[in-house]
Structure 1
Amino acid sequence: MCRTVDLHQAVLAKNDTNAVELRRTLDDRGTTAVNLMSSPGSGKTALLEALLTRAVAGGIPAAAVTADLATENDATRLARSGAPVRQILTDGLCHLEAGMLGAKLEGWLPEGTRLLFVENVGNLVCPASYDLGETLRIAMASVTEGEDKPVKYPAAFGLAHLVVVTKSDLAEAVEFDRDAFLGGVQQVNPGVPVIETSARTGEGVDALLAHVLRAADGLESHVPVLARQHEKHLHHHHDDEDASAADHSHAPSGATEHSHAPAGAADHSHAHAEAAQHSHAPAGTS
């Protein structure tokens, strides 16, 4: 009997296992991981530098890992905050994976780190499918990118616990349609909080840090609607598998089912359809 194996699902299942283990390790250390996702040029690094600077000034133990295909430019910039920073070079891979992050943290993450910010590769497609063991997932978009990003990238914004608008000081100059953007956000992720920020003026930076700290304390519990839908689908899929197994108890030896159970909780269940074409394995991480 032949069975078709979805390689992409197998890769995601392995990632989820690594994410569960990493989340448990970070929880034991009292560290909250924050996954930052956006397209290139959104101002993600500038905003993260501002957040780290505020955290250091406030005596909040924070660290950061930043990922890029090449160069250590972002790590150099973030280190100006005074926080511990490490760079991951993905050597062409369009996203981070939990195993890559865990390997970089091993033996480096300072004891007592309360907040670990993870700046994902600039991309709104691939990273949406990969749980990094984070507690808080933030999707960002700048006003200069236009107001349609949430509906064009529903997985990235639909699986976020928080949406952040960057470069808000330029909104008027670029004629940013705030109402259309917020409408799109609510369309793909009803009820998700939205914070508008500007790294240049400082607008919203304190509010964002406060939100992250509340999440670290378990006081922010938004569960993305897409995650809930995916969780419901998984339960339905498992019920069908259980019924099928009752009729076919002679499954071929060596066959493995990768059901891709949600990592940790429903708010870490990921929809993968948008990134199905990006199933290449990590190579050359450093």
Structure 2
Amino acid sequence: MCATCGCADDGTAGPGVRVIDPAHPERHVHPHADDGPEHRHGTRVDDHAARTVALEVDLLAKNDDLAGHNRDWLAERGIVALNLMSSPGAGKTTLLERTIRDLGAELPCAVLEGDQETLLDAERIGSTGARVVQINTGAGCHLDADMVADGLRTLAPERGCLLFVENVGNLVCPALFDLGEAARVVIMSVTEGADKPLKYPHMFRTADLVLLNKIDLLPYVDFDVDRCIAGARRAKPDVAVLEVSATRGDGLDAWYAWLRRARAR
């Protein structure tokens, strides 16, 4: 887990993390800025191998506490936050671009973009007109609640909006970290193996919705849709699964209906 994978060993937004507003890339949020969800840093824990389990438990407990503050802050403003998770290349950013262009006039949207480096995805989202802030995690392989709290200070999302949190591409660590979101959406594509839900069950076990993307490529790839869906439902029997193509538009009406229901709750 993150005690050994290269992330900050206290599980917080450490020195390698940058929160960047693409409109003002020279401005980075100060780690103790006000006017956002409560921001606390944990105490560094000895990285000795014998204490790895204790570190992981402590890390997640601190993160969950911060996630609770994020959740309260968002709820007070009527903001519905969705944590979008996938392996790299599943099409999260393309799906977000299409979603915002199609629904932005009806459902105000804002985005926190998570990547290890660059502003590339934030620039793509910014071209839709949505408010976006990039969180670069450096060596980190996931977003955590502390990073999201910092991002929200800079983003300042409007009340009542849909907040999409595009997590770092990774099917392991992001599943472990509550960000304060209202729901989790796992996106995978038909260009990946149909056995992904069996190989990474915890990710799919935490999902509220699974989007199977790039179905327009099914005639050209060897992918068993039924096997993939069965694997997802083995991890979580009642998980909703939608088959979509972010480029061609297949299934997007069902995705948009799901978003409307999520915002109405």
TM-score between the two structures when normalised by the length of structure 1? 0.73
Partner of 1:118: 165
Partner of 1:266: none
Are positions 1:68 and 2:115 aligned together?
Answer: yes
- Aligned-residue offset at 1:115: 0.3
Are positions 1:158 and 2:209 aligned together?
Answer: no
Per-residue CA deviations over 1:239-285 (Å, capped at 9, x if unaligned) read xxxxxxxxxxxxxxxxxxxxxxxxxxxxxxxxxxxxxxxxxxxxxxx
CA distance in 2: counterparts of 1:182 and 1:108, whole angstroms? 35
Per-residue CA deviations over 1:178-214 (Å, capped at 9, x if unaligned) read 1111111111110111011111101122321220221
Secondary structure, in 3 states, of the residue corresponding to 2:191? helix
CA distance in 2: counterparts of 1:209 and 1:59, whole angstroms? 11
Partner of 1:59: 106
Partner of 1:180: 227
Question: Does the CA-based 8 Å contact 1:42-1:141 persist in structure 2?
Answer: yes
Find the structure with the greater CA-based Rg.
1
Partner of 1:247: none
- Aligned-residue offset at 1:113: 4.2
- Aligned-residue offset at 1:28: 0.5
Greater share of residues in helix: 1
CA distance in 2: counterparts of 1:206 and 1:164, whole angstroms? 13
Are positions 1:191 and 2:242 aligned together?
Answer: no
TM-score between the two structures when normalised by the length of structure 2? 0.78
Partner of 1:255: none
Partner of 1:208: 255
- Aligned residue among 146, 149, 164 for 2:193: 146
Per-residue CA deviations over 1:59-96 (Å, capped at 9, x if unaligned) read 31110111100111110111121111110000110000
- Aligned-residue offset at 1:107: 4.8
Question: Does the CA-based 8 Å contact 2:133-2:154 persist in structure 1?
Answer: no
Structure 2: tracts of 5 or more residues without a match: 1-49
Return the letter of the residue paired with 1:152.
K
- When the two chains are superposed, the root-mean-square deviation of aligned CA atoms in Å is 1.5
Are positions 1:31 and 2:83 aligned together?
Answer: no
Are positions 1:8 and 2:52 aligned together?
Answer: no
Aligned residues: 215
Secondary structure, in 3 states, of the residue corresponding to 2:155? coil
Q: Equivalent residues in 2 for 1:75-154 (5 A)?
A: 75-154=122-201
CA distance in 2: counterparts of 1:110 and 1:188, whole angstroms? 34
Per-residue CA deviations over 1:88-145 (Å, capped at 9, x if unaligned) read 0001100000111111111532322420000000000000000000001011110000
